[in-house]
């Protein structure tokens, strides 16, 4: 039955925003990060919004699935999921199972996750509509808040001072390649945001240097929980050697070695719990981990590729059942993603650690009111209807213009690194 609240139109706008030269296992960030902004409009003119991946295959999948929503009620999430799954069968996989050479570093590029990613993109915008129509924040649609604010952690990166192609003036963070510079980066980030725990993106400098970085952080921030994430770029042997050097310092050890087998081999010899956003990335992989006796003890979820906010709630129940911890993974993103994550995390009793966010590395915004404000490293759960944020259409036009002009259509950290070092192979595990 078509009503005035039926969906009339879906608009997808690709955007690009500045991203610093952050180093990781695959290479280095390009100067522009891509996202898509989703708007779902009802016949009566209400608009629900969301933010998701913005690479070319995702844009194509969103465009393919969008017509399926026409005439649907914003409440019909199950039917939306059925229609999207029918329309967007997983695209053909490459030999490695992922687009390009990116293995699972950037889970947003998993081709096999297309259906879950598109469902998530539409689900959040439909929940935003539901909330607006009923005067309720999304967290209430998810069962209500179990916490008033959601804690995030400082997410540190080794980085260069400036992009090689100098597309815009250098960022204010400067270079980070030594323990001293790493501590300075943490001081700056914690000073601005008040984060209570610290994560270091590793897998890029020689592992001993990265371990020295963690020790310097432990000394500079006594009592703050610390994590290190080499994105599977260390062998099992290196992973075990480094965790020995960090005895007593780590809250958890994130994706040290590649693959579930590699993680299981590390888990057998290591007391620190292992966390992942690389080897448990969907329900089938959750089951595999369970079948192996749960070598991975903490799942770092991400509603953008787990199939949405409700799917992540289901994951949280599973984590509780299997006695696993749960927290959140992040890629470069803006405020809509952060707010969606905040509603979700406020609704999940089983959130056991402060969540990751790349937000401090972005300086732009697409929502009215500009950048979101953290208090002591946490974000207050919005109480306004729906997501509680609205699009700034001028900013959207500007960021779309960036997208048109930047020429980037896929994230390719390896190709970007080869501009600095033509001999860089990206072979993994590298250390
Ligand atoms: O943006 O460089 C990055 C991160 O390394 C990202 O690609 C990862 O997916 O943040 C992520 C992680 O925790 O593995
Ligand atoms: Mg990770």
Q: Dump strand ranges (E) for 269-399.
A: 274-276, 296-301, 325-328, 378-380
217, 182 contact by CB (below 8 A): yes
Residues 69 and 172 in one domain: no
Does some domain include residue 81? yes
Contact 42, 82 (CB under 8 A): no
Residues 230 and 324 in one domain: yes
Above 90 in pLDDT, residue 431? yes
Q: Which domain holds residue 32?
A: 7-136+394-407
Report yes or no: 93 and 34 within 8 Å, Cβ to Cβ.
Answer: no
On whether residue 421 sits in a domain, the answer given is no
Atom of ligand 1 at shortest distance to CA of 23? 2
415 lies in a domain? no
Q: Which tokens go with 218? A: 């432990």
For the chain, the average pLDDT equals 95
CA 368 to chain centre: 22
Question: Do 403 and 362 share a structural domain?
Answer: no
The alpha carbon of 359 and the centre of ligand 2 are apart by a number of angstroms equal to: 15
Which ligand 1 atom lies nearest to the CA of residue 201? 5
For residue 405, give the H/E element and its range. helix 393-406
Q: Give domain status of residue 47, yes or no.
A: yes
CB within 6 Å of ligand 1 — which residues?
A: 22, 24, 105-107, 201, 229, 231, 277, 329-332, 356
- Indicate whether 414 belongs to any domain: no
- pLDDT tier, 112 (very low <50, low <70, confident <90, very high otherwise): confident
**In the block, residue with structure tokens 């039926």:** 6
Residues 79 and 131 in one domain: yes
Pocket test for ligand 1, best of 20, 26, 105 (most atoms within 8 A of CB): 105
Point out the catalytic residue in the list 29, 110, 329, 358.
329
Residue 103 confidence (pLDDT) above 50: no
From the CA of 301, how far away is ligand 2's center (Å)? 10
Q: For atom 4 of ligand 1, which residue has the closest CA?
A: 331
Helices (H) and strands (E) in the chain, counts: 14, 14
Please indicate, yes or no, whether residues 322 and 349 belong to a single structural domain of this protein: yes
Q: Are residues 116 and 46 in the same domain?
A: yes
pLDDT tens, 198-207? 999 999 999 9
The CATH number for 89's domain is: 3.30.390.10
> Do the domain assignments include residue 412?
no
Whether 165 and 109 share a structural domain: no
Tell me whether residue 329 is one of the annotated catalytic residues: yes
Closest residue by Cα to atom 2, ligand 1, is: 24
C-alpha distances (whole Å) from 55 to each of 16, 129, 176, 382 are 10, 25, 28, 29
For 295-308, write each residue's pLDDT tens digit: 999 999 999 999 99
* CATH number of the domain that residue 311 is part of: 3.20.20.120
pLDDT of residue 200: 99
Choose one of 22, 23, 24, 280 to mutate for the ligand 1 pocket test, by most ligand atoms within 8 angstroms of C-beta.
24
Give per-residue pLDDT as tens, 334-376: 999 999 999 999 999 989 999 999 999 999 999 999 999 999 9
- Say yes or no: 257 and 376 in one domain: yes
- For residue 7, what are the contacts with CB-CB under 8 A and spacing of at least 6? 40, 41, 42, 43, 69, 70, 71, 72, 73, 74
pLDDT at residue number 89 = 76
Q: Which residues of 282-298 are buried (b: 16+ CB within 10 A; e: fewer)?
A: beebbeebeeeebbbbb
Omega prior to 304 cis, within 30 of 0: no
Q: Are 413 and 103 in contact (CB under 8 A)?
A: no
Asked if residue 97 has pLDDT above 70, the reply is: no
**201 among known catalytic residues:** yes
Ligand in nearest proximity to the CA of 252: 2
Distance CA 78, CA 155 (A): 35
- What is the sign, positive or negative, of the torsion defined by CA atoms of 258, 261, 263, 266? negative
Candidates 113, 199, 201, 343; catalytic one? 201
Mutation test residue for ligand 1: of 102, 104, 106, the one with most atoms within 8 Å of CB: 106
Tokens 């465009």 map to which residue?
A: 63
Residues 6+ away with beta carbon under 8 Å from 88: 61, 64, 65, 114, 115, 118
Claim to verify: residue 400 and residue 369 sit in the same structural domain:
no
- 108 CA: nearest ligand 1 atom: 9
> By the 8 A CB rule, do 30 and 412 touch?
yes
Domains held by the chain: number = 2
Residue at 430 is within a domain: no
Same-domain check for residues 107 and 168? no
Q: Is residue 123 located within the same domain as residue 60? A: yes
Whether residue 300 sits in one domain with residue 273 = yes
Strands (E), 172-272: 198-201, 226-229, 250-254
- Find the helix or strand (DSSP H, E) in which 10 lies: strand 7-18
Bridge-based pairing of strands 296-301 and 325-328 is parallel
Per the listing, tokens 């984060």 go with 195
The reply to whether 50 falls in a domain is yes
CA of 254 to the centre of ligand 2 (A): 6
Instruction: Spell out a b/e string for 206-230, using b for 16 or more CB atoms within 10 Å of the CB, else e.
Output: ebeebbbbbebbbebbeebbbbbbb
Residues 382-407: tens digit of each pLDDT: 999 999 999 999 999 999 999 999 99
């Amino acid at each position: 039955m078509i009503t005035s609240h039926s969906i009339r139109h879906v608009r997808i706008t690709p955007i690009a925003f500045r991203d610093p030269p952050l180093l990781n296992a695959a290479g280095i960030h390009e100067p522009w990060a891509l996202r898509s902004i989703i708007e779902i409009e009802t016949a009566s003119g209400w608009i629900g919004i969301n933010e998701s991946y913005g690479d070319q295959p995702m844009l194509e999948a969103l465009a393919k699935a969008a017509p399926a929503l026409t005439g649907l009620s914003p409440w019909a999430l199950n039917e939306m999921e059925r229609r999207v799954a029918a329309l967007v069968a997983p695209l053909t996989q490459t030999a490695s199972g992922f687009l390009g050479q990116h293995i699972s570093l950037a889970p947003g590029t998993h081709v096999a996750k297309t259906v879950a990613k598109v469902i998530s993109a539409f689900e959040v915008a439909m929940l935003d509509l539901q909330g607006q129509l009923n005067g309720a924040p999304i967290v209430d649609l998810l069962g209500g808040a179990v916490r008033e604010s959601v804690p995030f952690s400082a997410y540190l990166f080794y980085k260069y001072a400036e992009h090689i192609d100098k597309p815009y003036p250098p960022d204010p963070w400067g270079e980070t390649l030594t323990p001293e510079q790493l501590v300075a980066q943490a001081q700056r980030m914690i000073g601005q945001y008040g984060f209570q725990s610290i994560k270091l993106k590793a897998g890029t400098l020689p592992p001993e240097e990265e371990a020295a970085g963690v020790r310097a952080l432990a000394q500079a921030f006594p009592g703050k929980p610390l994590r290190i994430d080499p994105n599977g770029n260390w062998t099992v042997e290196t992973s075990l050697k480094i965790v020995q050097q960090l005895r007593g310092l780590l809250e958890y050890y994130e994706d040290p070695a590649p693959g579930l087998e590699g993680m299981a081999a590390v888990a057998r010899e290591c007391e620190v719990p292992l966390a992942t956003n690389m080897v448990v990335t969907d329900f089938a992989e959750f089951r595999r981990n369970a079948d192996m006796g749960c070598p991975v003890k903490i799942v770092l979820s991400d509603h953008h590729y787990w199939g949405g906010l409700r799917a992540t709630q289901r994951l949280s129940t599973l984590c509780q059942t299997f006695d696993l911890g749960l927290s959140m993974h992040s890629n470069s993103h803006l405020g809509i993603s952060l707010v969606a994550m905040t509603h979700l995390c406020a609704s999940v009793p089983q959130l056991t650690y402060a969540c990751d966010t790349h937000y401090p590395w972005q300086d732009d915004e697409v929502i009215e009111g500009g950048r979101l404000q953290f208090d002591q490293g946490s974000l207050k759960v919005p109480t306004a209807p729906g997501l509680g944020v609205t699009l700034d259409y001028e900013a959207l036009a500007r960021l779309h213009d960036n997208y048109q002009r930047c020429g980037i259509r896929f994230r390719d950290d390896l190709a970007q690194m080869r501009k600095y070092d033509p001999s860089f192979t990206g072979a993994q595990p590298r250390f």
